[in-house]
Each structure stands twice: as C-alpha cells, then as structure tokens.
Structure 1
Amino acid sequence: MTSTSSPAIGRSVDASGIQTNYHEAGSGFPVLMLHGSGVGVSGYANWRYTMPEIGRHFRAIAMDMVGFGYSACPPDAQYSLDYWVDHVIDFLDAMGIEQTHLLGNSFGGGLALAVTARHPQRVSRLVLMGSIGTEFTAPAAFNAGHGYEPAVERMRTLLKNFTFFPDSITDEAVQLRYQTSTRAGYQSTFEKLFPGSREQKMKAMITPDEQIKAIANEVLLIHGREDRVVPVETSERLFKLIPKSELHLFGQCGHWSHIDRAAHFNQLVLDFYGRP
C-alpha cells in the first residue's frame, strides 16, 4: 500500500493557505479531535477507533495539524504553539464552525488547552487525555521517537510505549504509522517540529499558569495511572489549576487510555459532552 492510498488520507480543506487533511463521522454539535506528536501520527491513526463512537452522538472531526500526517508541511514554516493554535482556529473558520467541543491527546491536549485559554468563545467543553501543557519532568519515553529511522519493527517498539497492554499494538496500527513516516519529506519535517531535548519540547507547549487558572470552560482530565510518556502528575497539576475541572484516572492504563480503556473512555467522554 502506497502513501497515496493510505486510509489516513481523508478530505482536505484550505485553512488560510494550509491544505489540511481531516476525517469526520456523524452529525450534530462538533467535537474537534487533536492528535499527539509521535512518529507517524495523523488524526486518523490517533482517533480511528474513537471517532465512530463519538460520531454516534456528535459531529466528530479529526484533523492533521500542519507538519503532521497528510496536511501540508510548508518548507518555510516556523513551528510553534502559536502557529498550531492559529491553524486550529483557521481550520474551524474554514469549516464554518463557530464553537466546538475539543478532545486532545498528549501534544494535542497541550494544544487544545492553549486554544481554550486564548479563544474561550470558540470552545464549549474540553477533554484532555494524557495531556501536556504544564511543567513536568519528562521521562525517557517522552522523547522515544528522537532520531527515528523508518523501520516496521522500530515503529512497533515505539508504539508499545503508549499502551499498558502490548497486544493492543496491532500490525495495522504499526503499518499505518510506519507508512506515514515514510512519506516524502517526512523525516526532515519531523526534525523541525520539536528541535532540541525533550525538556525543550515540553516547555515549547506550556500555557502559563495564570492563563490556565483563567479558563472558565468545563474541563475533563483523563489519565492512565501507568502512563510512561506523560506522568499522571501532569493532569493532577492541571486539575489543581483549572477551576471547573474534574479528573478521572484509569488503573492498568498507559498513555493511550482511549485504547487501553476504550469502552469506558468513550462513555466518559460522551457523558461529559452530553451534559445539559
């Protein structure tokens, strides 16, 4: 299967000059789903199992951020939190969406947090899963993709960092992300996304405490107790900072609670979004 036939390639929309790849399912009030930053990630790879369930009750949309997946990778792009926040807002504008729920995983959580802090009127409720966005001590697995060179078994090893149950990393998941990682120009772009150490990568996505404390939206924080990529203390810290927040911890669960605890995760998110 070539990259041009990848199931990760969906529809495309021009978001202020950035061709943005996205998938969607269902109808109704929108839920914009923001992916993580691991090697070979895309909106589809991150959310392909979650999107149909959310789409039973909402309009679930998974976009590829600029520089990731099958969205544009402008050669002159200056990747930063500001740049990605602008891309999210430009995407919402291009899709004609005035307000949305947000669901963010890891990097996507830090991004969703920043979007909510800076553009609260564009966000209804926010769900953060294994999210970054505040200071924490980054474990080794946080930077596991640094120096990655495309190989199927290397990808399999990387993905096993994200789950509590190793058997949940299927051949399909490995091939899907490996395929994206072999896209022309991918390696050079990936190196530009987060240059430097894992600590620099984490700090580049921080929203200042005072901005976090000012968030008035309802926020659900979800974290796996055995997360080896982003420590659970990160969500505990966000819980202390965000006034209208609640925290749910899953035991026997890694960084991908939407995989390790799929059924419970989906119901938790749907119940939160569906409240009056």
Structure 2
Amino acid sequence: MDGRLLDEAARVRTVVAAGHETAYHEAGSRRPVVLLHGSGPGVSAWSNWSGALPALAASGHRVLAPDIAGFGGTRAHDGATYGIKLWVRHLFEFLDAVDVPSALLVGNSFGGGLALAATLRDPSRVDGLVLLGTPAGTFTMTEGLRAGWHYEPDLDEMRRILRLFPYDESLVTDEMVKARYEASARLGAQDAFRKLIPEPGPADTQIKGVPEDRLRTIEKPALVVHGREDRVIPVDLGWRLARTIPNAELHVFGNCGHWVQLERPDAFISLVSDFARRLP
C-alpha cells in the first residue's frame, strides 16, 4: 500500500457538526465513501477503520471516517441528548462540512444502524449501504453488548471484552487493548454508548434496531456482510436484513466474528470496491 495514503489517513482533522468539534480521517479522491464505526468501550473511527480506510482510498475513493458524536475524539457535550436523532443530524452536518452531497455509507454494527436511520431520514444523501454486523428488528441482548454497557476502565476487563468480538482471539493484541483502554478512561467516554442500548436486565433483555417494516421501505442498494460466529450481533440479524431490504445482497464469512473488516480485510475491501463500482 502507498505509505503516503496511510499517512494521510492517519492524520486527524476536525470540522464542526451538530455543535461538536468532530474528529475525522480522510484519504483519496473521487466517489465519497463514509465509514461509520461501531460502539463499545474505547471505540473510534481509527480503531475500526485504520486498515480499510487507506485500502479503499487506494482503490479509487474519497474515504472519510468520522468519530460519531460522543465517541472517540468527538467529545460528548454536557446537556446534549444523545440518541439516533442527534447522531443522524451530526452525520448530515458532517457531510455538509466536508462538502459531500451524498455518499456510500459503510457502517459497522452501531454505524450500520446509523446508516439505516440516515437513509430513512433522507435517502438523497445516500448512494448505497454496506452493513457489517448490523442490528435489525428486535433481538436478545448478547454478552458482548452486556459487557460493554457495564464496563469501567480496566485493562484486564478491556481485554476480556475485546476477545468477544473476533473469532480468532489472537487478533486482540496488547497494543489494541492499551489503545482502547486509554480511550475508554477519559471522562464521559461511556456516556454515549450507554444511551445507545438499555441497561442490561434479565438474560432476555431485548434490543431494538430498525423495525422490519421500515427496512422494507429502503430502496437503496445494500451489501450485508456478517461473520458467521459473531457473538455481538448474531448472524441471524444479517439474514434478517438481507431478507427485508428489497435490493440487498448478503455475504457471510465462516470462522469470522464481529470485525469482518479486521478479520477478512482483503476480501472485505474487494467486496466493497466491487459493490461501489456497481452503484448507479
């Protein structure tokens, strides 16, 4: 990979969107692709997309990866009401600030849910959807989500939680654990995540994603990508998305967990690049 693209992508830039000084990464040119990160302790755009961003830029896209309001370097504001309405407004104002009328939205987990909500709010801003490990409809809270909600900054607990995400736990390195722990230890780092899902209760606590009747109204092309062994967002929800969104296709990776972009990086880039080429 061209080292200049990696250096360009690694540089943190900022714009103001929805009243938040918004940190983001960018590389490449031509058709815009916006990468939306997932949730969880210490998450950021760079922790989710550091490999995919320069690779997609090298394949001929202008790739942008913002830290969503309340996560990563886009710090939470006292008094801000975090929820899907704010996150959609933040995304659209971010697109305005970086002069992107519409883009292919690539969302991991929570980022996929945000991409769906944005499409429902204003489909003219969306060229297509790539949905990785994305929740849909109502489902039972998993151990990965439960552990993330209760997390308090601790290196050993961060390691335990991160090992729930990939199929091959060796993907969770000491460097990854340290970086996510340090990000999670700043004041208020957990606040936005705890607004995203309900406080865990009984073993059958239910989580609500975008309802299926709303998914059926989405006309944009969608590529659904899921790991068969996903312990955070079960693969059944990938099937649910693919069955429900009219113009969806599905790719399931075996021996793969929640982080498809990290666990199957080359195949993921190939899938997204091919999908982007086929968009109108």
Matched, 1:150 2:153: yes
CA change 1:100–1:183 in 2 (3 A) is same
Q: CA deviation at 1:52?
A: 0.9
State the one-letter code of the partner of 1:249.
V
Matches for 1:90-109 after TM superposition, within 5 Å: 90-109=93-112
CA change 1:192–1:131 in 2 (3 A) is closer
Matches for 1:113-124 after TM superposition, within 5 Å: 113-124=116-127
CA change 1:8–1:24 in 2 (3 A) is closer
Q: CA deviation at 1:66?
A: 0.8
Aligned match of 2:30: 28
Aligned match of 1:170: 173
Match of 1:40, SS state, is: coil
Aligned match of 1:215: 218
Q: CA deviation at 1:202?
A: 2.7
Contact kept, 8 Å, 2:139 with 2:206, in 1: the verdict is no
Match of 2:140, SS state, is: coil
Aligned match of 1:183: 186
Aligned match of 1:46: 48
Contact kept, 8 Å, 2:70 with 2:191, in 1: the verdict is no
| Counterparts of 1:197 and 1:151, CA distance in 2 | 20
Q: CA deviation at 1:187?
A: 4.3
State the one-letter code of the partner of 1:51.
L
Q: CA deviation at 1:195?
A: 4.5
TM-score, scaled to structure 2: 0.90
Contact kept, 8 Å, 2:140 with 2:206, in 1: the verdict is no
Q: CA deviation at 1:216?
A: 0.9
Q: CA deviation at 1:251?
A: 0.3
Which deviates further from its counterpart, 263-272 or 218-227?
A: 263-272
Q: CA deviation at 1:139?
A: 2.0
Q: CA deviation at 1:191?
A: 4.0
Contact kept, 8 Å, 2:138 with 2:211, in 1: the verdict is no
Match of 2:167, SS state, is: coil
Contact kept, 8 Å, 2:138 with 2:206, in 1: the verdict is no
State the one-letter code of the partner of 1:232.
V
CA change 1:163–1:19 in 2 (3 A) is same
Aligned match of 1:202: 207
TM-score, scaled to structure 1: 0.91
What's the RMSD between the two structures over aligned residues? 1.9
Match of 2:232, SS state, is: coil
Q: CA deviation at 1:60?
A: 1.0
Aligned match of 1:16: 18
1:22-43 deviation digits (Å, cap 9, x = unpaired): 0111111111111111100001
1:136-171 deviation digits (Å, cap 9, x = unpaired): 222222222122121222211111111011111122
Contact kept, 8 Å, 2:57 with 2:63, in 1: the verdict is yes
State the one-letter code of the partner of 1:121.
S
State the one-letter code of the partner of 1:37.
S
Q: CA deviation at 1:54?
A: 0.8
Which 5+ residue runs of structure 1 have no aligned equivalent? 1-6
Match of 1:22, SS state, is: strand
CA change 1:241–1:191 in 2 (3 A) is closer
Aligned length: 268
CA change 1:122–1:12 in 2 (3 A) is same
State the one-letter code of the partner of 1:23.
H
CA change 1:106–1:184 in 2 (3 A) is same
Contact kept, 8 Å, 1:133 with 1:202, in 2: the verdict is no
Identical counterparts, % of pairs? 44
Contact kept, 8 Å, 2:38 with 2:48, in 1: the verdict is yes
Match of 1:177, SS state, is: helix
| Counterparts of 1:112 and 1:83, CA distance in 2 | 13
| Counterparts of 1:234 and 1:25, CA distance in 2 | 32
Match of 2:180, SS state, is: helix
| Counterparts of 2:263 and 2:93, CA distance in 1 | 33
Which deviates further from its counterpart, 130-139 or 49-58?
A: 130-139
CA change 1:73–1:201 in 2 (3 A) is farther
Match of 2:148, SS state, is: coil
